[in-house]
């Protein structure tokens, strides 16, 4: 069957995540398999506006499967939010003969896709974010690698905290989503986990758990905090959830916690097997959609299967914390096994 498109573009937008390169590779190789030309768009929507592009072939994506970050670079584009910016992006597509675009990123990236589709460009989105906060998919590229990076760092940190009998407060990424903190908290046997989706009480959910653990004979404590754990507007404008929690612990319990902010270290590094394979499957499916003449689709991972869903419906699905994992966490919380 002949392809519905002859030339497509691929871009990465928003925050980078391990596995994006694997998705780009899959898009390019699948397109070439169908005889479709591929244009790499660098620096996200900004690159489409400014014509920052490169023609891609099999050599372009050789040996990138195991590389973190994104070879196409990424950026956020304020100009693309304007109608004038979108018109410039459409003009680039017309000039280069780009009939379809695969965009790898988060909700903001998908909203950009929808805006572009209204100008006649076929679009498919692939979820790539370490926060795993895209409601329509059970899994997004980069989440597992980021979680394992955080877990390894916390395990190392625990060794020294135990040696010095200290309390450690670790901040993981998650400005509006606590999935990563929740998952990491289960994996590390944290004393407490604080996330933005669940209202928490410091004295009950942190102080009393530390006090109970100490009375049970434990001498060091691990508190996992999502960067957006505080909903207070002033705190959100001036991030520093872990430092705030540490100050509260010192004031309430008289112990001096050590703060570790993992920050962007969670984004870097080679993607693990799950992210490489998931990204490859999603990249393949995205091109198959365009070849079949589909548009406004998001490639999702649901119940172990890769499917494509309507983009507007996908964006209407709100993010929520994994309920089953939260139940597990509540049963395990405070049971610091060290």
Rounded to whole angstroms, the Cα distance separating 288 from 102 reads: 11
Which residues are identified as catalytic? 131
User: Tokens in use for 66?
Assistant: 């195991």
Using a 10 angstrom Cβ sphere, with 0-12 exposed, 13-18 middle and 19 or more buried, the burial of residue 169 is: buried
214/73 Cα distance (integer angstroms): 47
| Number of CB atoms found within 10 A of residue 263's CB | 11
How are beta strands 305-310 and 297-302 bridged, if at all? antiparallel
pLDDT one-digit tens code per residue, 70-118: 999 998 888 999 999 999 999 999 999 999 999 999 999 999 999 999 9
d(C-alpha 132, C-alpha 145), whole Å = 11
Q: pLDDT tens string for the chain (338 positions)?
A: 789 999 999 999 999 999 999 999 999 999 999 999 999 999 999 999 999 999 999 999 999 999 999 999 998 888 999 999 999 999 999 999 999 999 999 999 999 999 999 999 999 999 999 999 999 999 999 999 999 999 999 999 988 887 777 899 999 998 889 999 999 999 999 999 999 998 899 999 999 999 999 998 888 899 999 998 887 654 445 556 899 999 999 999 999 999 999 999 999 999 999 999 999 999 999 999 999 999 999 999 999 999 999 999 999 998 888 888 888 878 877 544 44
E strands, the chain, in order: 7-12, 37-41, 53-56, 100-105, 122-127, 167-172, 192-194, 221-226, 258-261, 297-302, 305-310
Q: How far is CA 267 from the centre of its chain?
A: 8
Pairing of strands 37-41, 53-56: antiparallel
- pLDDT tens across 24-42, in order? 999 999 999 999 999 999 9
């Amino acid at each position: 069957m002949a392809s519905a498109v002859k030339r497509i573009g691929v871009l990465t937008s928003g925050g980078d995540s391990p596995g994006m390169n694997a998705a780009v590779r899959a898009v390019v190789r699948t397109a070439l398999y169908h005889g479709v030309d591929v244009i790499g768009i660098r620096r996200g929507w900004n690159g489409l506006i400014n014509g920052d592009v490169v023609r891609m072939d099999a050599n372009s994506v050789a040996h990138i499967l195991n590389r973190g970050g994104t070879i196409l670079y990424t950026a956020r584009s304020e100009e693309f939010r304007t109608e004038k910016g979108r018109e410039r992006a459409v003009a680039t597509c017309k000039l280069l003969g780009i009939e379809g675009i695969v965009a790898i990123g988060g909700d903001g990236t998908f909203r950009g896709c929808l805006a572009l589709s209204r100008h006649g460009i076929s679009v498919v989105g692939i979820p790539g974010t370490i926060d795993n906060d895209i409601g329509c998919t059970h899994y997004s590229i980069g989440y597992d690698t980021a979680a394992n990076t955080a877990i390894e760092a916390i395990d190392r940190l625990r060794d020294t905290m135990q040696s010095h009998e200290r309390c450690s407060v670790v901040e993981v990424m998650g400005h509006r989503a606590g999935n990563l903190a929740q998952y990491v908290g289960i994996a590390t046997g944290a004393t407490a986990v604080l996330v933005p989706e669940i209202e928490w009480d410091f004295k009950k959910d942190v102080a009393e758990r530390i006090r109970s653990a100490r009375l049970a004979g434990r001498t060091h404590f691990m508190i996992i905090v999502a960067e957006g754990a505080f909903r207070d507007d002033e705190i959100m404008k001036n991030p520093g959830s872990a430092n705030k929690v540490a100050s509260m612990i010192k004031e309430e319990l008289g112990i001096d916690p050590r703060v570790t902010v993992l920050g962007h270290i969670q984004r870097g590094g080679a993607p693990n097997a799950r992210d490489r394979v998931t990204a490859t499957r999603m990249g393949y499916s995205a091109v198959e959609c365009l070849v079949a003449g589909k548009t406004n689709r998001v490639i999702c991972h649901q119940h172990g299967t890769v499917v494509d869903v309507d983009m507007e419906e996908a964006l209407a699905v709100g993010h929520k914390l994994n309920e089953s994992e939260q139940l597990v966490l509540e049963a395990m919380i405070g049971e610091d096994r060290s």
